[in-house]
């Protein structure tokens, strides 16, 4: 058992719990960034090195900045944080715990086939190998991703743009 | 082909990654159920997406099959699109109602 | 005429040669085609050193530096004007839209790295695929410019 695997999993699960439990939304964002960094560590251990870099660039670098920005933007803090009643929280925790229980119980006896030493290839996570697969087999999803990004761009501009004369917040 | 196998793949059973991803996913689900702040709920959705990402990557790395990692790219693109539109909606809601509490927004009309 | 410092120059040359051979050994020790997770050990060490330095600097400056507290010194502004209200006032929505546009174009880049690395191998098909991809994204960019999201100096 690799100690790095255990360490990274432990930190990832703890900081994921921190996201849920932190009172202050800014702390939640910081915990989530820590989770993303540990997941990038996992990707590195699995030799998916391009994914590790992309995870940092996109998730920790862009998406979390946007989250932090919105939290600053809306001026959320501990005092304005809405809370569910304790009973509802308890029931939600039970529901989440039983989901985990069911998942683990279902997977306990499943033993997925591990690596195959004869055909193993440690270099599939490199950017050149991924690029060949992406552009040769997944050309259509790639183009559709651009349309999705275009739609998201237009949608968020439509939602966020204030026309002249409107209140500008 | 003289290629060394990374230590994690040699020593950690693939099942452990399944458990790890399940735990991460369950934490995300719990977060969505527990919290009322729409932004935190969004972050917990990101957590669930990442649980799926790590599982896809683990299977892809163990089975030496790059398709799983390509899927992670597309999940990231979808997540970015989802976040930008979702946060745009949250900002609009905040502008109109001065709150991000999902309980107050359950009416879907005003 | 002074004798040249032969010994010193020789030692320096030896040191340089040694350093260079060590550097090449460090850089070229692994064949370029086989990357392993352990290749990231130097980066990990650098992260550790950076963190250690930050922690060291903060702790030492905390221990060594003088502490003089007063209400005037702890005020947000030391220019004599009373500070009023909260520092976190709402900001314009323009910043938010710019951040959203940044996220979307940032994701576009993750598709461009694998394309750029394989530019020759992919040939014309990859080029056309990327032209189409860029066409859609630049259409979005044109829309953004036309809507005036990036214009700052109007209300």
- Give dist(CA A137, CA A159) in Å, integer: 35
Let me know how long chain C is: 155
- CB contacts of B4 in chain C (<8 Å) are 34, 36
> Does the residue A50 lie in any domain?
yes
- CB contacts of A105 in chain B (<8 Å) are none
Please name each of the domains of chain B with its CATH number. Answer: 11-100 (1.10.287.3510)
Q: Do both A70 and A133 map to the same domain?
A: no
Distance from CA of C17 to the nearest CA of A (A): 33
Interface test with A, best of C118, C147, C155 (most A CBs within 10 A): C118
> How much of chain A, in percent, has pLDDT values that exceed 70?
92
A78, A96, A116 - which closes a domain:
A78
Cβ contact B46:A35 at 8 Å: no
Confidence of residue C69 (pLDDT cuts 50, 70, 90): confident
Q: C9 vs A126, which has greater pLDDT?
A: A126
- CB contacts of A5 in chain B (<8 Å) are 8, 11-12, 16
What pLDDT, on the 0 to 100 scale, is given for residue C4? 52
Q: Do both A132 and A61 map to the same domain?
A: no
> Does the residue A121 lie in any domain?
no
Mean pLDDT of chain A: 87
Mean pLDDT of chain C: 78
> Does the residue A19 lie in any domain?
yes
- Give dist(CA A112, CA C152) in Å, integer: 56
Burial of B9 (0-12, 13-18, 19+ CB in 10 A): buried
Structural domains counted in chain A: 2
The domain locations on chain C are: 92-155
Locate the chain B residue with the closest alpha carbon to A99: B26
Q: Is the pLDDT of residue C137 over 80?
A: yes
Q: What is the CATH number of the domain that holds A39?
A: 1.20.120.1200
- CB contacts of B8 in chain C (<8 Å) are 37
Task: Please give the average per-residue pLDDT across A111-128, as a whole number.
Answer: 82
| Assembly ipTM | 0.90
The dihedral formed by the CA atoms of C69, C75, C81 and C83, expressed in degrees to the nearest 10: -160
Size of interface A-B (CB pairs under 8 A): 256
Q: Do both A6 and A74 map to the same domain?
A: yes
Locate the chain B residue with the closest alpha carbon to A105: B19
Span A93-116, pLDDT tens digits = 999 999 999 999 998 888 888 788
CATH code given to domain C92-155: 1.20.58.1610
Cβ contact B50:A39 at 8 Å: yes
Beta-carbon separation of B83 and C103 below 8 A: yes
Q: Is the pLDDT of residue C57 over 80?
A: yes
Q: Do both A3 and A71 map to the same domain?
A: yes
Burial of B7 (0-12, 13-18, 19+ CB in 10 A): middle
Span B30-70, pLDDT tens digits = 999 988 888 899 999 999 999 999 999 999 999 888 999 99
Task: Please give the average per-residue pLDDT across B84-99, as a whole number.
Answer: 84
The structure tokens 């790059």 sit at B66
Beta-carbon separation of B4 and C93 below 8 A: no
Distance from CA of B56 to the nearest CA of A (A): 11
Let me know how long chain A is: 169
Task: Please give the average per-residue pLDDT across C57-61, as a whole number.
Answer: 93
Q: Which of residues 15-44 of A touch B (CB under 8 A)?
A: 16-17, 19-20, 25, 28-29, 32, 35-36, 39, 42-43
- Give dist(CA B28, CA B24) in Å, integer: 6
Beta-carbon separation of B69 and A103 below 8 A: no
Q: Which of residues 30-69 of C touch A (CB under 8 A)?
A: 33-37, 40
Beta-carbon separation of B84 and C103 below 8 A: yes
C15-39 burial: b if 16+ Cβ within 10 Å, else e: eeeeeeeeeeeeeeeeeeeebbbee
User: For the ranges A28-32, A88-92, A137-141, C8-12, which has the lowest average pLDDT?
Assistant: C8-12
Domain that holds residue A9: 1-78
Q: B103 vs C131, which has greater pLDDT?
A: C131
User: For the ranges A100-104, A144-148, B10-14, which has the lowest average pLDDT?
Assistant: B10-14
Confidence of residue C70 (pLDDT cuts 50, 70, 90): confident
What pLDDT, on the 0 to 100 scale, is given for residue C29? 47
- How many CA atoms within 13 Å lie on the side-chain side of C16? 6
Confidence of residue A42 (pLDDT cuts 50, 70, 90): very high
Q: Do both A66 and A136 map to the same domain?
A: no
User: For the ranges A52-61, A90-99, C66-75, C131-140, which has the lowest average pLDDT?
Assistant: C66-75
Q: Is the pLDDT of residue C153 over 70?
A: yes
Furthest C-alpha separation in chain B: 66
> Does the residue A97 lie in any domain?
no
pTM score: 0.83
- Give dist(CA B56, CA A165) in Å, integer: 49
């Amino acid at each position: 058992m690799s100690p790095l695997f255990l360490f990274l999993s432990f930190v990832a699960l703890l900081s994921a719990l921190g996201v849920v439990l932190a009172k202050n939304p800014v702390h939640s964002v910081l915990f989530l960034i820590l989770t993303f960094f540990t997941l990038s560590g996992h990707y590195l251990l699995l030799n998916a090195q391009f994914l590790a870099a992309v995870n940092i660039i996109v998730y920790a670098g862009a998406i979390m900045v946007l989250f932090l920005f919105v939290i600053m933007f809306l001026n959320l803090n501990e005092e304005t944080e809405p809370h569910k009643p304790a009973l509802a929280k308890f029931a939600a925790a039970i529901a989440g715990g039983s989901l985990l229980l069911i998942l683990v119980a279902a997977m306990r006896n499943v033993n997925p086939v591990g690596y195959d030493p004869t055909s193993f290839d440690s270099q599939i996570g490199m950017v050149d190998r991924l690029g060949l697969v992406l552009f040769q087999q997944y050309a259509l999803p790639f183009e559709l991703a651009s349309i999705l990004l275009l739609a998201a761009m237009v949608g968020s501009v439509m939602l966020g743009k204030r026309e002249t004369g409107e209140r500008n917040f | 082909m003289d290629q060394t196998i990374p230590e994690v793949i040699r020593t950690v059973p693939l099942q452990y990654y399944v458990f790890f991803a399940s735990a991460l996913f369950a934490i995300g689900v719990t977060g969505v159920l527990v919290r009322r702040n729409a932004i935190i709920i969004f972050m917990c959705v990101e957590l669930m997406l990442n649980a799926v990402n790590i599982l896809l990557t683990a299977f892809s790395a163990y089975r030496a099959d790059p398709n799983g990692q390509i899927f992670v790219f597309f999940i990231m693109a979808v997540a970015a699109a989802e976040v930008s539109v979702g946060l745009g909606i949250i900002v609009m809601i905040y502008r109109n109602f001065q709150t991000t509490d999902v309980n107050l927004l359950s009416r879907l009309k005003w | 005429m002074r004798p040249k410092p032969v010994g010193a120059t020789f030692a320096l040359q030896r040191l340089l040669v040694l350093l260079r051979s060590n550097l090449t050994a460090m850089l070229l020790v692994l064949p370029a085609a086989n990357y392993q997770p352990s290749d990231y050990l130097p980066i990990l060490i650098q992260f550790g050193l950076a963190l250690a330095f930050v922690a060291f600097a903060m702790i030492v400056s905390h221990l060594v530096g003088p502490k003089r507290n007063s209400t005037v010194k702890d005020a947000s502004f030391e220019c004599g004007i009373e500070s009023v209200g909260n520092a976190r006032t709402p900001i314009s929505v323009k910043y938010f839209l710019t951040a959203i546009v940044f996220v979307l174009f940032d994701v576009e880049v993750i598709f461009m790295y694998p394309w750029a690395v394989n530019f020759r191998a992919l040939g014309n098909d990859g080029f056309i695929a990327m032209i189409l991809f860029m066409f859609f994204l630049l259409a979005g960019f044109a829309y953004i410019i036309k809507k005036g999201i990036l214009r700052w100096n109007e209300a």
